[in-house]
């Protein structure tokens, strides 16, 4: 092979490389945008989850929240009403559970939003956890009662998941 032939092959490879590079660049820009969006969303979810959990674990915060809702004459969130009616827990106790489940659901919704980023094994475990939680009576009651207030993309994903075989309590 002479230098002229090597040059021609190199040039051919170079042209293909430029073409593919542009494609990759476009892909990379898309990934970078998604990464920024995901990162911002992650920070938001972490912060709100922490706030919700603070309400869930602090009896005084749960009491203040409940007194404020009742004081303003606002209806209790449906999950709280149902819980108080069916189980006889106090409104403060129901508020604590509502906040704990809100924190959990926010975290689930975030993972569902970026489900494509999970490996197949991570996804399987995540979906197994969802099936386990959402078929258990308490979380199912939360889901059924709070559904209109929840992230609708996540709601549809979970509903679809629950229609699949194997959705039985762990």
Partner 1 sequence: MSWEAIGAIGQVVSALAFLLAIVQIGHARSDARRAFAQERVDRSIQLNMTSAANERLMAIRAKAIERLRVASGDPLPPFFRAATEQLGLSLEEAFTLASEQMARWTSIAHTISYLPELSQAERAQFERTARVGITEPIFRFWFEHLRSWLDPNAVRYIDGLLAQSSSTSA
Piece of 55-63, 70-78, 147-155, 156-164 that binds partner 1 (CB under 8 A): 55-63
The nearest distance, CB 56 to partner 1, in angstroms, is 6
H, E, C per residue of the chain: CCHHHHHHHHHHHHHHHHHHHHHHHHHHHHHHHHHHHHHHHHHHHHHHHHHHHHHHHCHHHHHHHHHHHHHCCCCCCHHHHHHHHHHCCCHHHHHHHHHHHHHHHHHHHHHHHCHHHCCHHHHHHHHHHHHHHHHCHHHHHHHHHHHHHCCHHHHHHHHHHHCCCCCCCC
Among 3, 74, 160, 164, binds partner 1 (CB under 8 A): 3
Q: Which is nearer to partner 1, 103 or 154 (CB)?
A: 103
Piece of 64-72, 124-132, 144-152, 155-163 that binds partner 1 (CB under 8 A): 124-132
Among 64, 69, 118, 150, binds partner 1 (CB under 8 A): 118
Q: Is the dihedral of CA 113, 119, 120, 126 positive or negative?
A: negative
Q: Which is nearer to partner 1, 33 or 156 (CB)?
A: 33
Is 28 near partner 1 (CB under 8 A)? yes
| Contact mark string toward partner 1, 70..89, x via CB under 8 A | -------------x--xxxx
Piece of 9-17, 70-78, 146-154, 156-164 that binds partner 1 (CB under 8 A): 9-17
């Amino acid at each position: 092979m002479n230098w002229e032939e090597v040059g021609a092959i190199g040039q051919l490879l170079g042209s293909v490389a430029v073409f593919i590079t542009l494609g990759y660049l476009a892909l990379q820009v898309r990934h970078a945008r998604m990464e920024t969006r995901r990162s911002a969303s992650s920070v938001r979810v972490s912060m709100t989850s922490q706030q919700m959990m603070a309400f869930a674990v602090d009896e005084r915060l749960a009491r203040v929240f409940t007194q404020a809702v009742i004081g303003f004459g606002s209806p209790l969130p449906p999950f709280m009403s149902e819980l108080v009616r069916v189980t006889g827990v106090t409104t403060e106790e129901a508020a604590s559970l509502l906040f704990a489940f809100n924190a959990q659901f926010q975290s689930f919704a975030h993972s569902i939003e970026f489900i494509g980023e999970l490996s197949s094994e991570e996804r399987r475990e995540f979906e197994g956890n969802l099936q386990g939680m959402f078929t258990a009576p308490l979380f199912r009651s939360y889901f059924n009662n709070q559904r209109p207030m929840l992230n609708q993309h996540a709601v549809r994903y979970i509903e679809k998941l629950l229609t699949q075989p194997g959705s039985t309590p762990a």
